[in-house]
Structure 1
Amino acid sequence: SLYHDLKEFIKTNLGFGEFIFRDVKGNELARARTLYHLEKTLEKIPEESILYHVEKNQFSSWLMAHSEPRIAKRIKNILAEEYGSTEEIRQYLLTTIRDVSQQQNRGKVIKFTPTIFTEEDKIIQLADGSMGGKGRGLAFLNTLLFTMDFGKEFDNVNVKLPKTAIIGTNEFDSFIETNKVISSKFIKNSDKEINKFFLNGKLTKNLIAKLKTLIQNVKVPLAIRSSGLLEDSQSQPFAGIYKTFMLPNNDPDDGIRLKQLCDAVKMVLASPFLESARKYIESINYKIEEEKMAVIIQEIVGSKDAENLFYPHFAGAAQSYNFYPPKDMSHEDGIVALAAGLGKAVVDGERAFRYCPKYPRVNLLEPVGIVENNQRDFYAVDLSLDEEQGVNNEDKFLTKRRIRTSHKEGVFKEITSVWDYERFQFLDGNFVRGPRMLTYRNIIYYNKFPLSDILLRILEIGEIASGVPVEIEFAINLDGDQTSNLPTFYLLQIRPLSVNKENINIKLDKIKREEMLLSTTRAMGNGEIKSIKDIVFIDPEKFDNTQTLEIMNEIEKINNYLEANDREYVLLGPGRWGTSDRFLGVPVRWAQINKAKIIVEASQENFTVEASQGSHFFHNLVAMNVGYFTVSHLLDSDFIDWEWLKSLPAKYSGKYAVHVELEKPIHIQIDGKKGIAVISKATK
């Protein structure tokens, strides 16, 4: 019929439909449906077929009809006589397709194709659906790096994302439906039972096939991260609530590595249903049924050392807003926390080096303080562990190692200085001898790597684009990567910071000292609270930083009682709350103190610890508008009336922790702009 003939003419002569490879006699040899299939077929099709289609200009016509005009224009009107052989024409066609495709895909989130894992500057989507909060942040960063062309802005430095793939939330929906997960019934199980159920569940065959291709192409350690819909949102940003798994990905058996990867993906999908995550979601007035999980698969930044450990030279977190600026700096000057090795030391609130990116030559601590607070341990992926044992917890393949002199003289030498203990000063230079400390002076003082400039630029653009202050996580490889020998700055993620700027004016001169329970000039949060009657504190005279696990258990017991009665409280104690280093403070998780509305860290004469900006625990306090105070015994303006607290009748008294219940509520005032807070003993 005329209709059929017209349809065939359009498909055959105008390039619509499949590309049909033919020999000189017109016999069909192969078909290609997509650009990827065209490329793969070109690699192996006989030379006579290539010559046949080039002479008829059919490659260009087909590509133009399939929305590939840039490639089509470059290969249009190829003259065979200008090439030495048909094989040269084949290579020109393949090179053109690959070069233009890579250029067009830079800075984008693109659909999976089997060859895509060899390409840079793009995010690969392995399953449809939302990318989640963290995924959206990565997509923004990827576009930012491409459009701003950071390579031209910073000489002799690479600025990039690690190779990244995202599993959209449709896979989560499929998993929940296929494996019959009913939230209301399911969450009654223990965490162990939930994890076991998810590990026994089935991912879609389509995703498994893509993960198999990923494993075959990627041979470096991998981070499997959560990216929930609620995670890193502007209205209620939070971090560290869900699971992240680090995999060595170095077993010679692809099957073992694939199983490890699938298990880690399942464990991340399970993480919203675990008790600590559920409690957090409920505390921000959401239901577990509203959360969906995307999964991010990201190459871990770093290199292998002589002990078969994998880690970057250093990593960190930077915030465009400093909640505790020194007196000569402003909130908007920002703050950076750095740690040698993987960034877990920073986000878990352990020892880290802090400085202001706007004033990198200004030390936030005296030299002696830098020595006393110097990082002692670093985190790495242990490549020597047996991968066949399975993924049973997120720290399975992580190891924490002491930073030895050999590290400071070797892999970390560029970020150290020699401590002159006679003159109480730091000395720099490769040939200076003496004990070394992590100071990052080569980086931030002498600008051998433009870290501060890069951070300020990204934080500035991120804050403008988000409309709120932001935090980024990053890692640095000073030796470069597989593609170049240039030192490389890797962006790992970006999230909004919740900053409440409501105007609260505290008139300290109108409040008598004897009326105050507490006063501090280092307060985070904002607002006024007149409803709290419960105070939980650790007696500073009984505090022992070697017994913080026992203290944690006592605090959890009190919190459970107050949670059952739906009562918020003020939590006070020496050292740092929420750190994973139990010698710096009490290593509580959020679920163990989720009814605390005010958290106070008090320093003592023999126990002084920096505030934990940059940690996930700290970030979540900010997001939930929990008051977070640091009270220094060194400042006349700061104090806690411990004697008054200890004189009150105890509702509960443990070996270390005490719970008191007041007849009248205390009066809490927080001025977030000035960083001042006062807790008065009774509401007026």
Structure 2
Amino acid sequence: MRYHTHVSTGWDSLDHIIDHLRWGDNVVWQVDSIDDYQRLVLPFVNSALSRNERVVYIRFGRHMPILDERPNLMIYRLETGNSFESFSREVHSIITREGRDVLYVFDLLSDLLHIWATDLMIGDFFVITCPYLFQLNTIAYFAILRNSHSFKSIARIRETTQVLIDVYNADGKLCIHPLKVERRYSPTMFLPHIKEKRRLVPVINSVEAAQLFSRLSHYDTTGAHRHLDYWDRLFMEARRLLQSDAAEAERKDLIQQLSRLMLTRDERLLALIRSHFTLEDMLSIKDRLIGTGFIGGKSVGMLLARKILMKDDPDTWGNTLEHHDSFYIGSDVFYSYIVQNGWWQTFMEHKTREGYFPKAMELKEKMENGVFPEEIVERFKLMLEYFGQSPSIVRSSSLLEDAFGSAFAGKYDSFFCVNQESPKQRYESFEKAVLRIFACTMSEDALTYRLQRGLDQSDEQMAILVMRVSGSYRTSYFFPDLAGVGLSRNPFVWKKGMDPQEGMVRLVFGLGTRAVNRVEHDYPRILAIDDPLAKPLVGLNDIRKYSQHYVDLLNLENNQIETVTLVEALEKGTPEKFDLMGIRDTEAVDAMREMGRPVKDYRILTFDPFLSETPFVDLMRRMFARLEQTYDHPVEIEFTVNFDQKGDLKINLLQCRPFKAMGSGPNDPLPDPREIGRTILRVEGNAIGAAISKEVTRIIFVDPEQYGDLSVQEKYAVARLIGKLNKAIAAGNGGSVLLMGPGRWGTCTPAMGVPVTFSEINHVTVIAEISHSTGSLVPDLSFGTHFFHDLVETGIVYLAVYPEDPEVECDLDWIRSRPNMLSALVPEGERFAHVVRVAETKDERLRIQSDVEHRKVLCYLALDDERKEIA
């Protein structure tokens, strides 16, 4: 290890001025051209190689190579299209691999502006890379182009580096002007020096110095231009182009360039953006962007869907779509937050295989308690002043979110800010929401989701969408008239003649949180667009019981989101159009009157008048058709519905993303009864998923009768046990697995089912929810929810099993008769062996098959050839 050893720049005169280089130095040259930088690099490298030092050249610029290949020179060629994280991680890996006491030459840092478009990220890269190089006792050469970066960026570089030197060409002569040289000093060190032959001569006369700097002043633009980030200058060019008579092709090219910097890298989406967005649209987004970088998948989906509809039929959608005035927190803010709080090293460790989960947990805790730079705080406050006391919602909008093939449904959080506080408290609540969303990128569910889809090494910056909450004030409550989720393909056709390509909607009264989550004790309205009044009661005919009884809303007095009964919500005032949503429950009213209790306005939310008397269904049909046709892919939307003062229906399109519809796959006919030795499970209608025909090698069964007798703590322990069995499948100790249990898998309420997270069941093949009389153990075909998305994307077949239905067969006794292998797989789970059974069936000839066309699923013991002949 070397300490304070002097190293030559390769130029004796320069060595004399700065008293040589020191191990640990990062040297930044501010130059006018790449040629000037190269003239300084070559003697440094030649001198180092002559001493048998290790020299590494990091090549990434668009300019000609600074160094050519030669013996003992290691050249790493980095991909120029890489994002900030990928590029920084690759450089970090190179530095780690090369180790201590290495000399580095980096290409021109200014070239990275063409990739990242912002000085902020150049500064962040320098801030995370230079200390690591210093730590490993290296010497590194960097260069930046004069007048290409803002004063703030130069200040960050000056603060971080050990050596900063200006290089000019003055009247054909090279001028060297050290601006910062750490750990040494001389009386003339920081004077400009003019090259005279091989020597650098200091300008010590005041007259000559004044003349020199006067001549050099044209190199330095001191106006507002230098205060601007490269990003801002790019958009200034866009405004100039917009006001000019530039050709449409030129504008489209700039839209494409700005889209790659602010909207997406996805080529399919970029093609749609180029067709639908104008330069005015891009500038409008920029005006509402806090920070720099991408606005994220959720924001792009919302904006693109609106543009598609408006371009298709501006009259209809211009009068129907509710206006939005959202703000966007750029994805660069996320990385800079990590960098400026000093956590980048931990972030890099998280990206390793061994640190993926442990370091993420460490980061998650830290990220909820960091600080933002003053300029970001100020922008946050200005935005909050704009919204005032209007409720807003802070929504995740990461780079990978809502993309083709990765919806990330429910993996990241959203938080309501009711905003009924002082400005100081409103800011604190908002900042807390932002930090919690940043931290949720490190949640176990999100990490598992990324890992399972091969996205664990992909850049996943978190941008944020801040929206005004859609709705109206109702005394002390605030909520929209209706909200919901829509799918352009209906995944569950429960009635003959329904067309799955017409789509379906999951509709609720109040906030849409009850539409996107698996709600407990409640049933949102499911409707098929081609037959909206048909009700999928899944064999349960009590319309009162299986309707919506609770409402999510914002309580303005308590300044928080709340769930109240429908009766409580209506006590604050019945919405003017409520007769379209709920019919009066005369039986309940009569019953309360007979019992001598206060009579209240009891309603049953069927939504039938709303569906039949308003243009809502037709608008959804048209919206689905246009969006799916334009995306060339099924889509999912989130929306609210409100009625304006004239009574006209307004739809607020909150979100649109590609939806992975479950394909039918090969539809083999179900086996002949003569091939079946014993039916273990038969379901008709209550199934979701592609066609399946597989040998079942293992059944994991949570016994409904035993589960109901457990305490709440024990039910959570059973959920964790299922997670361990799920890991055993991932480790290769299980093939095609049938998971069966009472009520709803993934519920938040143990009385309703087994409270697993999706990452604890994501390796099974088929999941069955069994209805049981104990408590409220009833399945829930939750189309359009986050749980449903997880099933679809993972390809898990879902069954709702109602043993009381005469069309259903469910031989639980056969499963109970199999040897229980639980303790062999998870020894610590033996205490729950009476509740959780693991039956190994790989030698039982147990098969599961589905007939997608007729919505039938059959799990049976197949006869071997000899037994078939006998049959």
Q: TM-score range by the shorter chain?
A: 0.7 to 0.9
1:243 CA drift (Å): 1.3
Question: Within the alignment, does 1:619 sit opposite 2:789 as a pair?
Answer: yes
The one-character-per-residue Cα deviations of 1:293-317 (angstroms, maximum 9, x if unpaired) are 22111111122333x3322122111
CA offsets per residue over residues 31-89 of structure 1, 9 Å max, x none?
A: 999xxxxxxxxxxxxxxxxxxxxxxxxxxxx999764369xxxxxxxxxxxxxxxxxxx
Partner of 2:761: 593
The aligned residue for residue 340 of structure 1 is 509
**Contact 1:497 1:622 survives alignment (8 Å):** no
1:360 paired to 2:532:
yes
Provide the C-alpha distance between the structure 2 equivalents of 1:64 and 1:242, rounded to a whole number of angstroms: 35
Matches of 1:485 and 1:546 in 2, distance apart? 51
Match of 1:110 among 274, 277, 284: 284
User: What is the match of residue 272 of structure 1?
Assistant: 441
Write out aligned runs for 1:514-533 (5 A): 514-521=677-684, 522-528=686-692, 530=694, 532-533=696-697
* AA in 2 matched with 1:318: G
Q: Secondary structure in 1 aligned to 2:766? A: strand
Find 1:675's aligned residue among 855, 858, 863: 855
2: distance between equivalents of 1:535 and 1:109? 56
Aligned equivalent of 1:144, options 308, 312, 315: 308
Is residue 716–residue 750 contact of structure 2 (8 Å, CA) maintained in 1?
no
Does residue 583 of structure 2 align to residue 417 of structure 1? yes
Give deviations 1:217-243, integer Å, cap 9, x for gaps.
112112111122332222233300111
The question of 1:235 aligning with 2:405 is answered: yes
1:246-645 pair list within 5 angstroms: 246-253=416-423, 255-287=424-456, 289-306=458-475, 308-328=476-496, 329-350=498-519, 351-365=523-537, 368-385=541-558, 397-404=560-567, 407=570, 410-411=574-575, 412-421=578-587, 435-447=602-614, 450-479=615-644, 486-499=648-661, 500-509=663-672, 512-521=675-684, 522-528=686-692, 530=694, 532-544=696-708, 550-564=714-728, 565-567=731-733, 569-580=737-748, 583-604=751-772, 608-633=778-803, 635-645=805-815
Residue 660 (structure 1) aligned to one of 798, 820, 839? 839
Per the TM alignment, residue 474 of structure 1 is displaced from its structure 2 partner at its CA by 0.9
State the alpha-carbon separation in 1 of the partners of residues 785 and 609 from structure 2: 25
Supply the AA of the counterpart residue of 1:410: T
Give the Cα separation in 1 of the matches to 2:644 and 2:835: 48
Equivalents in 2 of 1:275, 1:557: separation in Å?
17
| TM-score, normalising length: structure 2 | 0.58
* C-alpha spacing 1:594/1:188, structure 2 compared with 1 (3 Å): same
Comparing 625-634 with 512-521, which one deviates more in the overlay?
Answer: 512-521
Deviations 1:596-639 (A, max 9, x none): 22111233578654411121111111011111122333655432
Matched residue SS, 1:542: helix
DSSP 3-state at the match of 2:467 = strand
Using a 3 Å threshold, how does the CA distance of structure 1 residues 260 and 191 change in structure 2: closer, same or farther? Answer: farther
Q: Give 1:327's aligned amino acid.
A: K
Shift of residue 651, structure 1, vs aligned partner: 2.2
Runs of 5+ consecutive residues of structure 2 not aligned to the other structure: 1-222, 226-236, 246-276, 351-355, 591-598, 823-831, 865-871
Amino acid at match of 1:143: K
Q: Deviations over 1:239-289 (max 9, x none)?
A: 001111111123232x33223222222221221211121122212232155
Q: Is the contact between residue 107 and residue 145 of structure 1 (CA under 8 Å) also seen in structure 2?
A: no
**8 Å CA contact retained: 1:251, 1:257:** yes
**Secondary structure of 2:720's aligned partner:** helix
What is the match of residue 226 of structure 1?
Answer: 396
For the aligned residues, what is the CA RMSD? 3.6
CA contact (8 A) 1:223 1:299 kept: yes
Q: Please tell me whether the aligned partners of residues 310 and 317 of structure 2 are also in contact (alpha carbons under 8 angstroms).
A: no
**1:172 pairs with 2:352:** no
1:11 aligned partner: none
Matched to 1:216, the amino acid is E
Q: Which amino acid is the alignment partner of residue 311 of structure 1?
A: F
Deviates more, 1:288-297 or 1:509-518: 509-518
- C-alpha change, 1:402 and 1:256, in structure 2 (3 Å) is same
Relative distance call for 1:655 and 1:311 in structure 2 (3 A) is farther
SS in structure 2 at match of 1:339 = strand
Of 182, 194, 199, the residue aligned with 2:368 is: 199
Distance 1:546 1:160 in 2: 49
Larger-gyration structure (1/2): 2
The change in CA–CA distance for 1:506 and 1:545 in structure 2 (over 3 A counts) is farther
TM-score by length of structure 1 reads 0.73
Q: Quick one: distance in 2 between partners of 1:339 and 1:612?
A: 13
Deviates more, 1:172-181 or 1:657-666: 657-666
Residue 372 of structure 1 deviates from its aligned partner by 1.4
Q: In the TM superposition, what whole-angstrom CA distance separates every residue of 1:301-344 from its partner, at most 9, and x where no partner exists?
A: 122333x3322122111112222212321322322111121111
Distance 1:543 1:469 in 2: 39
AA partner of residue 659 (structure 1): V
How many corresponding residue pairs?
A: 558
Name the counterpart of 1:163.
325
Alignment check: 8 A CA contact 2:567 2:600 kept? no
Relative distance call for 1:512 and 1:154 in structure 2 (3 A) is same
Aligned residue for 1:287, secondary structure, equals coil
Which has the bigger relative contact order, CA under 8 A and spacing at least 6? 1
Given the superposition, is the C-alpha separation of residues 470 and 63 from structure 1 closer, same or farther in structure 2, using an over 3 Å criterion? closer
Q: 1:567 to 1:349 in 2, by over 3 A?
A: farther
CA separation in 2, counterparts of 1:567 and 1:463? 41
Does 2:243 match 1:68?
A: yes
2:762, 2:794 within 8 Å by CA — same for their partners in 1? no
Contact 2:803 2:810 in 1 (8 A): no
C-alpha spacing 1:678/1:111, structure 2 compared with 1 (3 Å) = same
Query: Aligned partners of 2:485, 2:863: CA distance in 1, in Å?
Result: 39
Q: Deviations over 1:621-662 (max 9, x none)?
A: 101111112233365543222111111111234453333333
Contact 1:107–1:146 (8 Å) recurs in 2: no
Q: Residue 490 and residue 533 in structure 1: after superposition, are their counterparts in 2 closer, same or farther (change >3 A)?
A: same
Please say which of residues 600-609 and 491-500 is displaced more in the overlay.
600-609
Aligned AA (2:326): T
Compared with structure 1, are the counterparts of its residues 237 and 67 closer, same or farther at alpha carbon in structure 2 (3 Å cutoff)?
closer
Counterpart contact for 1:551–1:657, Cα < 8 Å: no
Aligned partner letter, 1:650: N
* Secondary structure of the corresponding residue to residue 613 of structure 1: coil
Change (3 A) 1:566 1:345: farther
